[in-house]
Amino acid sequence: MSTESLDGGAVSSVPRVVVPSRRIVYRHALPIRIMHWINVIALTLMFLSGLQIFNAHPRLYWGNRSDEGTAIFALGARQDAAGKMQGVMRIGKHEFTTTGVLGVSNGADGPQMRGFPSWLTVPGPQWLAMGRRWHFFFAWVFVLNGLCFVGYALATRHLQRDLLPTGADWRGIGRSIVDHLRFKHPHGEEALRYNILQRLAYLTVIFVFGVGIVLMGLAMSPRMDAVLSPMVEAVGGRQSARTIHFIIAWGFVAFVLIHLFEVLITGVFNQLRGMITGYYAIDASPGDPQPRAEEMPAESGPSEDRPHD
Amino acid sequence: MTDRRSFLRMTMAGAAGMLIAGCDRISQTLWGPDVLGKAEGLNRRAQALLSPSSSMAKEYAESDISPVFHPNGTTMPATPAYQALMADNFRGYKLQVDGLVSRPAMLSIDDLKRLDMRTQITRHDCVEGWSAIGKWQGTRLSAVLDHVGVAPQARFVVFHCFDEMEEDTPYYESIDLAEARHPQTLLAFTLNDQPLPVPNGAPLRLRIGRQLGYKQAKYLARIELVSSFDDIGDGKGGYWEDQGYEWYAGI
């Protein structure tokens, strides 16, 4: 970093305009923050207990049946030349040795055959009945929380205002993709607005992943299938529904990883504070020598901006 | 960079480990599984609302039948009573029906056939996650219940089986009367047009269209109508229920 950019540099002789370099705005409304963290807990526990349930039969199929030898994805074990257990992941016809993580990993008494390792399942040991209890309890939390979110977002117009892309958003999609790839993020006022990729990501996660994973979960319930069988057959059958359920679960993981990455590179403290207290700091725009009315010092501190809920 | 990465990885692994250890501790308490298990009643009521008791499981075509209907659990009951029946090719088999009924009965497979016959090609969904489709022929349980006359106090049908999961722990299951009277609830004696094979539950097994595999008791010895199953097994209504699985297995 060059000294010129520091406060004690060449510009120090110029009388400084008293413009706050950062401004705190109330960004996330309380209900949104509560629902966000409930969702974090529910999704985490559903994912981990879901892997426990998957481990009871660590293979995926397409169609209604799971006939021997027709799995399109499998975690399993085989013996190597020395007679040692080897973990194997098979996707279609491609096999990968995954000893230690997938297929074979350490249990309480050394290496054991299990799909996902004990540090990725709730409960840790192989215990299907308990995994189901966790999964179906938090399924209610996830669904009710999701319904509350959609109701709230519609009622407060959060959905229409902040999540549905505008025409200008769509036109700027190319630039937004390039900006994301260069890890270039908007500052100042613009940072408060969800960009097009953010909007599409949130809408996809809520309405495609969220709705989809719940429907595919219901499609695995034999009682629900008595009324849902047209949908079950439309996606290919119960085993297809199970496969899609699994894929969407990993879609959520991909979303969360990208989400956390974006939080990290755009200021983890500020972002966390935003989602915990609601208050989020933005830079006063550097290319803006004349601060706009709402950026005047009188209005700094927690402003009365509408929450970016 | 490597330091930061390994720090990050250790932090994440530590957090995940703590989370899972915490969940494991809750799973071991008395209250934890109880609280989590509250969802079972909610699931049963919500599903009964969305999928009424008259709703029918999808019936498939002959071409959908699994080439092999995978037998799970016991595949060869070792009890002397069963072995003796099997040695005689189940010719001496009679299903005992008693409990809260007006006319207790001992019914042979031929008696059952005379009462009622239904054929259905339905999907079997195991709690483990796999599915198989089979063609079942059997007598509707409702016809058997009408034959013996159900007492007004009766609330559940309990299925006692020949196979023992551990010594002196016979397999058993139970369903409520609404499920018992559902038209797809069968006492099945054939699978894919053949007499029920031993691994699949010969000579007679339960088929329920809309619940998981562990409810579909094999090797039926006796059907008992009861007002409560608190005194049977560990009191949870079935062998797997006593191991912590849900009594309501519609999900």
Kindly give, in sequence order, each residue whose CB lies less than 8 Å from that of residue B223, ignoring residues fewer than 6 positions away: B95, B96, B97, B98, B99, B144, B157, B158, B159, B160
Asked if B16 lies within 8 A of A68 by C-beta distance, the reply is no
Q: How confident is the model at residue A293 (pLDDT cuts 50, 70, 90)?
A: very low
**pLDDT at residue number A285:** 58
CB-based contact A224 B251, cutoff 8 Å:
yes
Interface of A with B in 247-286 (CB under 8 A): none
Q: Kindly report the average pLDDT of chain A as a whole number.
A: 88
Q: Is B7 on the interface with A (CB under 8 A)?
A: no
Over the stretch B75-85, which tens digit does the pLDDT of each residue have? 999 999 999 99
Q: Is the pLDDT of residue A7 over 50?
A: no
pLDDT tens track for B64-73: 999 999 999 9
Contact B173, B215 (CB under 8 A): yes
Q: Is A53 on the interface with B (CB under 8 A)?
A: yes
Which candidate from B40, B66, B250 shows the least CB-CB separation from A65?
A: B66
Using H for helix, E for strand and C for coil, what is the string for chain A? CCHHHCCCCHHHHCCCCCCCCEEEEECCCHHHHHHHHHHHHHHHHHHHHHHHHHHCCCEECCCCCCCCCCCCEEEEEEECCCCCEEEEEEECCEEEECCCCCEEEEECCEEEEECCCHHHCCCCCCCHHHHHHHHHHHHHHHHHHHHHHHHHHHHCCHHHHHHCCCHHHHHCHHHHHHHHHCCCCCCHHHHHCCCHHHHHHHHHHHHHHHHHHHHHHHHCCHHHHHHHHHHHHHCCCHHHHHHHHHHHHHHHHHHHHHHHHHHHHCCHHHHHHHHHCCEEEEECCCCCCCCCHHHCHHHCCCCCCCCCC
Distance from B46 to chain A by nearest Cα, in Å? 10
Percent of chain A with pLDDT strictly greater than 70: 85
pLDDT at residue number A10: 42
> Identity (one letter) of the amino acid at B142?
S
- Distance, CA of B169 to CA of A16 (rounded, Å): 86
Yes or no, beta carbons of A56 and B20 under 8 Å apart = no
Query: Do B127 and A132 lie within an 8 Å CB cutoff?
Result: yes
Low-confidence ranges of chain B (pLDDT < 70): 1-2
Q: Do A133 and B39 touch (CB under 8 A)?
A: yes
Whole-number Å distance between alpha carbons of A251 and A259:
12
Q: Are B244 and A129 an interchain contact pair (Cβ–Cβ within 8 Å)?
A: yes
Tokens of A64: 């209604």
Interface ipTM above 0.90:
yes
Quote the pLDDT of residue A305.
47
State the pLDDT at residue A107: 84
Are B60 and A129 an interchain contact pair (Cβ–Cβ within 8 Å)? Answer: no
| Interface check A56 vs B, CB under 8 A | yes
Confidence (pTM)? 0.90
The verdict on B131 touching A (C-beta cutoff 8 Å) is: yes
For A229, name the nearest residue in chain B, comparing CA atoms only: B58
pLDDT, one tens digit per residue, over B98-118 is: 999 999 999 999 999 999 999
Chain A residues touching residue B21 (CB < 8 angstroms) = 124
Q: Which residue has the tokens 């069968």?
A: B186
Q: How many CB pairs under 8 A join A and B?
A: 143
Residue A303 clears pLDDT 80, i.e. is over it? no
Answer whether A139 touches B (CB < 8 Å).
yes
- Tens-place pLDDT, residues A37-78: 999 999 999 999 999 999 999 999 999 999 999 999 999 999
Is some CB atom of chain A closer than 8 A to the CB atom of B115? Answer: no
